[in-house]
Amino acid sequence: MKIICVGRNYLAHVKELDNDLPTEPMFFMKPETALLAPGESFPYPDFSKEIHYETELVLHICKTGKAIDEKSASEYYDAITVGIDFTARDLQNRCKAKGHPWEIAKAFDYSAPFGEFKMIGALKHPEDITFGMKLNGKWVQQGHSRDMIFSFDRIISHVSRFVTLNEGDCIFTGTPQGVGEVHIGDKLELFLEDEPMFWFGIN
Ligand code: ZN
């Protein structure tokens, strides 16, 4: 399986990082080694001093597709959850300044924890999915899928022009505003439609 991540998909977050507004979806990938097993803690890596959380909705791809039309894109995902796109912001800023790829800042081990998938049909408000994260018991990010610059369907259509999607792949769909640092000892709790999905610690 592969993990595809969309960047710059919420206006307020694009502004908080002082990035340009995208005219089409921008994406990057993480390898399977970015997964974090359920119940495990996230090991703070030794190569960064500024690891940021980015709380995101994560789609589950349910069938293989290439060059998918936006109108039929909803047939290609069946379930959703919430996850963290961990980012070594210090390394990412250096990569951006040099025009280098982002892998060392984004694709490192355990950088993509996510919860169990919930069927789209079981959501209370599929037209505007709320999600969020509590850091040490305090809300730090709360998002609404209606605030996305590019819809799920647009993302699937765009990504599949370049990369074939397979059953079991997942797509992180971008973070709303409120990203920030984690520290050793922190506890992260993730929510989908106000329902707690999973939690883990930083060690
Ligand atoms: Zn992200």
pLDDT for the residue 101: 94
Give the β-pairing of 3-7 and 138-144: unpaired
DSSP per-residue codes, 80-103: EEEEE--EEHHHHHHHHHHT--SH
pLDDT for the residue 19: 86
pTM over 0.95, yes/no: yes
Higher pLDDT, 77 or 18: 77
Residue 106 alpha carbon to ligand 1 centre in Å: 9
Residue 63 alpha carbon to ligand 1 centre in Å: 24
Residue 5 alpha carbon to ligand 1 centre in Å: 6
Q: Is the pLDDT of residue 20 over 90?
A: no
The pLDDT tens digits for 28-61 are: 999 999 999 999 999 999 999 999 999 999 999 9
Residue 67 alpha carbon to ligand 1 centre in Å: 23
CB 133, CB 84: distance < 8 Å: yes
Q: Is the pLDDT of residue 187 over 90?
A: yes
The b-or-e profile of 121-136 (16+ CB within 10 A means b, else e) is eebeeeeebbbbbbbe
Residue 66 alpha carbon to ligand 1 centre in Å: 23
pLDDT for the residue 14: 86
